[in-house]
Amino acid sequence: MSQDAELFIQQLLAQMTLEEKIGQLHQVSPGGDFDLNLLQTGQVGSLFNADGALTGQGFSKSSSAEQINHLQQQALSARLHIPLIFGRDVIHGFRTIFPIPLAQAASFNPELAEQAAAATAREASATGIRWTFAPMLDIARDPRWGRVAEGNGEDPYLGAQMAAALVRGYQGDDLSAPDRIVACAKHYVGYGTAEGGRDYEGGEVSEPTLRDVYLPPFQAAVQAGVGTLMSAFIDLNGIPATANHHLLTEILRGEWGFDGFVVSDWESIKELIAHGVAEDEAHAARLALHAGVDMDMVSAVYHRTLADSLAKGLLPIEEVDQAVLRILRIKQRAGLFDQPFTDPQREKQDLLRPEARQLAREFARQSIVLLKNQANLLPLQGIRRLLVTGPFLRARAELFGTWTPDGRGEDVTPLDEGLRQHTPRTTELWFADSTDMALHMAHHSDAILLLLGEHPVRSGENGNVSDLRLPPGQSEFLAALAELGKPIVLVIFAGRPLALEKEIPLANAVLYTWHPGIEGAAALAEILFGEAAPSGRLPITFPRRTGQVPIYYNHKNSGRPVGSSDLFITRYSDLLPRPLFPFGYGLTYTQFSYNDLRLSSSTLRKQLQVQCTLTNCGTRPGSEVVQLYLHDRVGSLTRPVRELKGFQRVTLQPGESQIVTFTLTEEQLAFTRSDGSHGAEPGWFNVWVAPDSSSGLHAEFRYEG
Ligand code: BGC
């Protein structure tokens, strides 16, 4: 940060009254009864869902930018003219809705995520929003948890790559550019450990696992310059994350040097009372502020209690000052002091641009995962009559997925329409809206396209399920159709891995589309008929049955690991000890072979090159996500059986080969030990270059230390 900017905010702080300081820490999501006087007297630092503030005040709803500018005007009329920062949950697109974050991770393409975030920033900022509560970076090992849809899956390396890319996309190189927005890495941290996948439930995690699995995406976001973080709802290891000084101050600020601000989650400061660590609101406020939460989202306990706590000498003013400075710093960096208003013209030009829709389509194409393709049924060819049925047949907004407050169903081409546009003339489409109709028409069709899955409300915040199977009735529908013996292409729309042990064998081909966004229908149609090929990979392990979770690829070996000859191994007596589909898995319309794995040396000193030759040995062009995995055979702490350390998306023509090279560094061998130290330990390592986390070419090397 430039010295001038730092001086500017210091001087501003020096002029502020206590009320104005506390005002900066106060974030409001206004309802119709919102008192504009709070803005005019400098008692609010940030608004989100700002349109609520003007409800009932006769203000035109036609332009968000005008409303936001009007509110900004009120705030600037206050004594010190400090601008508001307007926030919003802009999670995977604003009007142009991109695939859900879990699907974005399935693309294994951080560059695309960066471009999508940049397009999203342009749209959101055109309406006056300058701060998004994204990216959500919670590692999730339990798909019962609804919020698995909002994150990047189970892997810390993939999560960190996506985190950095998303922050770059939202914020750009210059946060003050009018078409960029401040990002917010959330929910710091360990939110995904919620027991049983029940949202808001507590979790327990060891410090080494916290540091090596849950923290890396957040650290990557901080290194990429993220402006803000959000503290999680969770009680982690007995200390709610919103009151955790170790996490919010020692690690985040002390170790990582973060100089932006932290906002609480919705009322999470007040919730410290329910958690049982604070006796009242004033106590909750002091705990959170001391821990390092600078802005209070919605609960208003800073607003109501901090002045009194200060007067009683229960709180040092330095803690308030520090929080104010951090907030002013980000407002300054976002250019709000120089440019507090948004040009209302932009709203007309910057929403739903054709380029953004194209990007959404490309992202959907790359995030759809082909799970099965018996006898190359896909892409569909030579089908005269294709029966299309299932609950997603007329889906529009249902394609968006969770957290899309600004998406509009009417912007979406529905699936039936999307299919019509991309189906070859030689194929007749028959649509059946009910199971009865489908069963009747199926007899006369050549193949069936069955669109099943879960509605977006079943995933996302508090969209937890105790049963990972398809919603009631869907599996039975598939079974009834399967009895007719026609080829079936099963398409699953979902915000999480579903347990499809029974369904996969009943279908000839299976595409997992997640909730694919505004262009999902077109992308799916292109893939079905071969205009595009699927290339997504699973960013999270798919269990066979619900009872198998948590199940994740980077687990530790037990003393009696799967694969050992003993009967008494780590397993269930009623289930194969393997996932249905492993992390990293995904097929395409061609085949790739991996050959000639070579290491630049048998010993890693500082770094090592790992190379293999990838060949497209099929008959169609295609993209492969080549993955690099590592296993430390002996450590002072037990080590995961595999850890992803690199990936590359490679596109090859039929018959074409390419040498794929990864560089492994000493740092990539390192882990956190039980005493908190971090480093690589000498010994033997296994390395794989692989198409997924359960296979691949294997070699070994030594690290001498
Ligand atoms: C969610 C956050 C979200 C916030 C504001 C909370 O309930 O946990 O992810 O950003 O609400 O809408």
Distance between CA atoms of residues 117 and 96, nearest Å: 11
- Could you tell me the CA-to-CA distances from 2 to 6, 119, 173, 327 in Å, in that order? 6, 28, 15, 16
Atom 6 of ligand 1, nearest CA residue: 266
Going by their DSSP bridges, the two strands 643-652 and 622-632 should be labelled as antiparallel
Atom 5 of ligand 1, nearest CA residue: 266
- Rounded to an integer, the average pLDDT of 116-125 is 98
Asked whether the beta carbons of 295 and 329 are under 8 A apart, the reply is no
- Give the chain's end-to-end CA distance (angstroms, integer): 37
Distance between CA atoms of residues 668 and 176, nearest Å: 35
Expressed in angstroms and rounded, the spacing between residue 265 Cα and the centre of ligand 1 is 6
pLDDT in tens, 350-364: 999 999 999 999 999
Probe residue for ligand 1, chosen from 199, 266, 270 as the CB with the greatest number of ligand atoms within 8 Å: 266
- Cβ contacts of 341 within 8 Å, gap of 6 or more: 69, 72, 73, 128
- Could you tell me the CA-to-CA distances from 309 to 279, 301, 323 in Å, in that order? 14, 11, 16
Percentage of the chain modeled with pLDDT above 70: 99
Q: Tell me if 131 CB under 6 Å of ligand 1.
A: no
Residue 458 CA, chain-centre distance (Å), reads 17
H helices within 25-151, ranges in order? 37-40, 64-76, 101-106, 110-126
Distance between CA atoms of residues 530 and 432, nearest Å: 23
Task: Give CA torsion, residues 39, 67, 355, 516, to 10 deg.
Answer: 80
Q: Tell me if 671 CB under 6 Å of ligand 1.
A: no
Ligand 1 atom at minimal distance to the Cα of residue 186:
9
pLDDT in tens, 488-534: 999 999 999 999 999 999 999 999 999 999 999 999 999 999 999 99
Q: Tell me if 188 CB under 6 Å of ligand 1.
A: no
Residue 32: count of CB within 10 angstroms of its CB: 10
Name the residue type at position 173.
D
Asked whether the beta carbons of 437 and 431 are under 8 A apart, the reply is no
The pLDDT, as a whole number, for residue 45 is 98
Q: Tell me if 89 CB under 6 Å of ligand 1.
A: yes
Q: Which residue has the tokens 């995933």?
A: 459
| Residue 488, burial from CB neighbour count under 10 angstroms (0-12, 13-18, 19+) | buried
Please determine, for residue 284, whether its predicted confidence score (pLDDT) is greater than 80: yes
Helix (H, G, I), strand (E, B) or coil at 651: strand
Expressed in angstroms and rounded, the spacing between residue 270 Cα and the centre of ligand 1 is 15
Please determine, for residue 367, whether its predicted confidence score (pLDDT) is greater than 90: yes
Expressed in angstroms and rounded, the spacing between residue 525 Cα and the centre of ligand 1 is 34
Helix (H, G, I), strand (E, B) or coil at 409: helix
Distance between CA atoms of residues 666 and 681, nearest Å: 10
Asked whether the beta carbons of 78 and 84 are under 8 A apart, the reply is no
Asked whether the beta carbons of 475 and 500 are under 8 A apart, the reply is no
Probe residue for ligand 1, chosen from 27, 92, 132, 133 as the CB with the greatest number of ligand atoms within 8 Å: 133
- Cβ contacts of 509 within 8 Å, gap of 6 or more: 370, 372, 373, 374, 377, 378, 487, 488, 489, 490
H helices within 368-488, ranges in order? 415-422, 435-442, 474-482
- Rounded to an integer, the average pLDDT of 138-147 is 98
- Which structure tokens are listed for 295? 């802005």
Expressed in angstroms and rounded, the spacing between residue 630 Cα and the centre of ligand 1 is 36
Query: In degrees, to the nearest 5, what angle opens at C-alpha 600 toward C-alphas 622 and 652?
Result: 10
Ligand 1 atom at minimal distance to the Cα of residue 233:
8
- Rounded to an integer, the average pLDDT of 97-115 is 98
User: pTM surpassing 0.85?
Assistant: yes
H helices within 606-703, ranges in order? 666-669
- Cβ contacts of 398 within 8 Å, gap of 6 or more: 392, 455, 456, 493, 515
Please determine, for residue 58, whether its predicted confidence score (pLDDT) is greater than 80: no
> Chain-wide mean pLDDT for the chain?
97
Expressed in angstroms and rounded, the spacing between residue 329 Cα and the centre of ligand 1 is 23
- Which structure tokens are listed for 666? 């000493």
Q: Tell me if 266 CB under 6 Å of ligand 1.
A: yes
Backbone angles phi, psi at 147, to 5 degrees: -80, 0
Atom 7 of ligand 1, nearest CA residue: 266
The pLDDT, as a whole number, for residue 107 is 98
Distance between CA atoms of residues 518 and 123, nearest Å: 15
Is 33 one of the catalytic residues?
no
| Residue 605, burial from CB neighbour count under 10 angstroms (0-12, 13-18, 19+) | exposed
Probe residue for ligand 1, chosen from 89, 91, 150, 270 as the CB with the greatest number of ligand atoms within 8 Å: 89
pLDDT band at 51 (very low <50, low <70, confident <90, very high): confident
Probe residue for ligand 1, chosen from 231, 265, 298 as the CB with the greatest number of ligand atoms within 8 Å: 265
Ligand 1 atom at minimal distance to the Cα of residue 134:
10
Please determine, for residue 485, whether its predicted confidence score (pLDDT) is greater than 70: yes
Inter-axis angle of helices 281-291 and 301-311, nearest 10 = 90
Expressed in angstroms and rounded, the spacing between residue 118 Cα and the centre of ligand 1 is 21
Helix (H, G, I), strand (E, B) or coil at 538: coil
pLDDT in tens, 143-182: 999 999 999 999 999 999 999 999 999 999 999 999 999 9
Atom 11 of ligand 1, nearest CA residue: 266
Task: Give CA torsion, residues 409, 414, 415, 417, to 10 deg.
Answer: -170
Distance between CA atoms of residues 63 and 56, nearest Å: 16
Distance between CA atoms of residues 678 and 330, nearest Å: 31
Q: Tell me if 461 CB under 6 Å of ligand 1.
A: yes
Please determine, for residue 463, whether its predicted confidence score (pLDDT) is greater than 80: yes
Expressed in angstroms and rounded, the spacing between residue 402 Cα and the centre of ligand 1 is 12
- Rounded to an integer, the average pLDDT of 222-234 is 98
Distance between CA atoms of residues 689 and 684, nearest Å: 17
Query: In degrees, to the nearest 5, what angle opens at C-alpha 559 toward C-alphas 556 and 562?
Result: 70
Query: In degrees, to the nearest 5, what angle opens at C-alpha 676 toward C-alphas 670 and 680?
Result: 15
Stated length of the chain: 705
Expressed in angstroms and rounded, the spacing between residue 99 Cα and the centre of ligand 1 is 19
The pLDDT, as a whole number, for residue 206 is 97
Distance between CA atoms of residues 139 and 41, nearest Å: 41
Atom 10 of ligand 1, nearest CA residue: 133
Please determine, for residue 59, whether its predicted confidence score (pLDDT) is greater than 80: no
Backbone angles phi, psi at 699, to 5 degrees: -145, 175
The pLDDT, as a whole number, for residue 79 is 98
138, 155, 235, 265: which one is catalytic? 265
